Chains A and B, each alone.
Chain A
Amino acid sequence: EVQLVQSGAEVKKPGESLRISCKGSGYSFTSYWITWVRQMPGKGLEWMGRIDPSDSYTNYSPSFQGHVTISVDKSISTAYLQWSSLKDSDTAMYYCARASGYGNDYWGQGNLVTVSS
């Protein structure tokens, strides 16, 4: 069974760093890109970026380029999304998803990130 399991909810202060994770199982992890998607409270889905686990090649949305870093450790089938300095506006739910062809077919359960002083 294909699964993407994300790390738990986080509460952070502005300026702090954070890394959240997404562990894939039940399939060949290096055969599918991993996409990260943001959903701010009460808002729609925003495509943040994606990574090819086989070679760590990444694409970022211009809206997120330079503010987040997507990485992967293929030895443990895990992708990461990280911030070096969080802002209040980073408060959101973050989803990882497996990119299959031209769709994201399996999704993680989501990571709620709350940034507040």
Chain B
Amino acid sequence: QSVLTQPPSVSAAPGQKVTISCSGSSSNIGNNYVSWYQQFPGTAPKLLIYDNNKRPSGIPDRFSGSKSGTSATLGITGLQTGDEADYYCGTWDSSLSAGVFGGGTKLTVL
């Protein structure tokens, strides 16, 4: 059971928008920055969002992040079939003194 809770799967049509939620607590999301990762099968994860809403260079602005209280959200607009992947949220947990990840969300672009 992951410390951070994500929906197992989401789906949307090409061109549409999708959001992926990540729910935690005051010991993790509530008081620390959130990052988001994209992972294709058989490859290493890739950083999409850091510090709640910042994009590394090279990440298109179709990807956005936000945080409110003890929850965070990844938004993807203009969905493409190439966005089909697993998405993970991550943050620091001050009670555990350790990093934590969500269980991951599989995005299907119908």
Contact = CB atoms under 8 A, between A and B. Distances in A.
A46 B44 contact: no
A44 B44 contact: no
B53 to A, nearest CB: 11
Interface size class of chain B, counting residues whose CB lies under 8 Å from the partner chain = 20 to 34
A105 B37 CA distance: 9
B17 interface: no
Contacts, number: 71
A44 B102 CA distance: 8
Nearest to B101: A45
Contact of B103 (A44, A105, A110): A44
Interface of A: 35, 37, 44-47, 49-50, 59-62, 95, 97, 100-105, 107-110
6 contacts: A44-B104, A103-B33, A103-B51, A103-B90, A104-B35, A104-B37
